[in-house]
Structures are given as C-alpha cells and as structure tokens.
Amino acid sequence: MNTHHNAAAKPSWLGEFILLSGLWGASFLFMRLGAAEFGPLPTAGLRVIMATLFLWPILLHRGEWPALRRHWRPVLLAGLINSAIPFALFAWAVMHLATGLTSILNATVPLFGALVAWVWLDDRINRLRWLGLALGFVGVALLAWRAPAGVGLSSGQAGWAIAACLLASTCYAVAASFARRYLVGVPPLVTATGSQLGAALGLALPMWWAWPAQTPGLRAWAAIVAIAVLCTGIAFILYFRLIAQAGPSHALAVTFLAPVFAVFYGAVFLGEAVTPWMLGCGVVIVCGTMLSTGLVGSLKRAN
C-alpha cells in the first residue's frame, strides 16, 4: 500500500519541483530583458510591486491579514534583506554577465547560508561540511577567474558583477537565518506577501530616482510582468507547497536545478556561450554546496 501511495504521489511532486526550477531559472532571462531598458533599480522595484499586488488578494482571501499585522516589523525587514537588495544586485549583474553564469553564482546561497548559520545561530559544521565549503569556494574562484560575459555585454565590469552576485547570495543567506530567528511560526504566505511589500517600500524612492528617461518597450514590460507574476508570485506559492509536500531538503535542491534551465534559456534566447569551464565550475560549486549543507545525507534519509 505504501509503495502504491509513493508511486501515485511522486509524479505530482516531481512536476512541481521541475516547474519551480524552470521558473526560477527563467528569472535571470527576464531580469536581463527588463534591465536592458528599465535599468536595475526600476526592474527590481517593479518586480516586487507587481508581486505584492499578485499575492495580496490571496493573503486576504485566506484570512491571513491579522498574522501580517502582528508580525509586520520583522516581515517587512526580511523583505529588504531577502528581496530588495538581492533583486537589485542581480538585475545589475545580468547587465554585465551571462545569465547562465549569474544563475550558477546564485546556487551558492546554501553555501553562504551554512556559514551565516554557523556564525549567527551556532550551527555545527563537521569536517565533511567544512570540506564542502572549501570545495564550493574553490569552484567560485575558478569560475570568476574565467568568467564569460553575455553576448553584446561588456566584460569590463565582470569582476564587480560577480561580487554583486555573491553579495546578493549572502543577503539570501542572512535572510534565511533571520527567518529562523525571528519568523518562526509566521505563515509562509504572510512572509512571502509581507516581504514583497517591505521590498516594494524600500525600493520605491530608488526606483523613482532611476526611472529611465526613454519609455521602455513592450518586450521589457512583458519581461517585468513575467518575472513578477511567474518567477516571484507563483514561484513563492510553489516553493511553499514543495516544502509541505516533499520537505525542506528537497525544496532546497531547486537551487541546484534552476541554473540548468537558466543556462539553457540564455543559450537559446540570448545566444550566450556555454563553455566546458563554466559547466565544470558549476558542478564543483553544486557538489561543494550539497556537502556543506548536509543535503546529501538529508536526501538519503528522506528517501
């Protein structure tokens, strides 16, 4: 009976897992298309504003407004750390780096997460996890050494763009430990909606200040709507569903599959080069991250 149940549930779980990976992988493509005309700050600002507008009716329909009102301070602050700053940094980075490379650097989030949790929350790191951390950072260093720029992009800012990606990944890591410390027990939809609202408030003035003088075209607007609704609003809902159905360890693995989609999208739609060096470094980073987070052992136990 258990075997039959697992066989029936597995296709649904895998479908949502792959869909979420595809959506988050596409976010780098849409950021590139949007930032090319809007610029980084308006791209990030419009993303969180539209995501808030998408999630807010769902929050009200589910009757979770009182929870947001009780926890509004840490939730809004989480939005600045987890959305406003990293979204703006990645939107700037994709203007100078290949989107596939940017997505691979984003896969270091659990790597930095392990370090931040060790420093802030006193999480224990054993020898195998330290080995994974070292391996992951070696992969980042090798990738940065021969970082390719995207087609039609200048490579002069590549070093700064890589630093922006790593800083954004660190923000995600800090936000994860912040949530563990201050947002335990807050409903996921409340965190998702409130954090986007906090990011929207934080980016409102910078977005207005950096608004482009020339009106962006329809393609740029379509990219912004797609990244806000598909890659942020719907992706958040899928992510929390995946946590509930498959557990946090499997949900975390989305970070490792998303770059596969991002590299594919960049090659097909932007003509970006996919080099063996880039793919090899990506494998090193992913393997190091899986070791450093203990994900390998968690997945074995879950199965």
- pLDDT tens, residue by residue, 165-193: 999 999 998 998 898 889 888 888 999 99
* Predicted confidence (pLDDT) per residue in 74-108, tens digit: 999 999 999 999 999 999 999 999 898 899 899 88
Residue with tokens 């390719």: 148
Share of the chain above pLDDT 70, in %: 86
- Checking if the pLDDT of 300 tops 80, the result is no
Average of per-residue pLDDT across 196-217: 96
Helices (H) and strands (E) in the chain, counts: 16, 0
CA distances 220 to 14, 19, 37, 217, 225, Å, are: 31, 23, 6, 6, 9
Q: How confident is the model at residue 64 (pLDDT cuts 50, 70, 90)?
A: very high
Share of the chain above pLDDT 90, in %: 48
- Checking if the pLDDT of 249 tops 90, the result is no
- Predicted local confidence at residue 90, as pLDDT: 97
- The angle, 0 to 180 degrees and rounded to 10, between the axes of the packed helices 99-106 and 85-93 is 150
Residue 81: DSSP 8-state: I
d(CA 160, CA 157): 5
At 287, the amino acid letter reads: C
For 129-157, b/e burial (b = at least 16 CB within 10 A) is: beebbebbbebbebbbeebbbbeebeeeb
Query: In the chain, where are the structural domains located?
Result: 2-302
Average of per-residue pLDDT across 1-11: 46
- Predicted local confidence at residue 302, as pLDDT: 52
- Predicted local confidence at residue 1, as pLDDT: 44
- Checking if the pLDDT of 255 tops 70, the result is yes
- Checking if the pLDDT of 8 tops 50, the result is no
| CB-based contacts of 144, cutoff 8 Å, min separation 6 | 159, 162
Task: Give the residue from 85, 79, 81 showing the smallest Cα distance to 190.
Answer: 79
Indicate the range of 70-74, 78-82, 295-299 predicted with least confidence.
Answer: 295-299
d(CA 188, CA 197): 14
- Provide the 10 A C-beta neighbour count for residue 96: 21
Q: How confident is the model at residue 6 (pLDDT cuts 50, 70, 90)?
A: very low
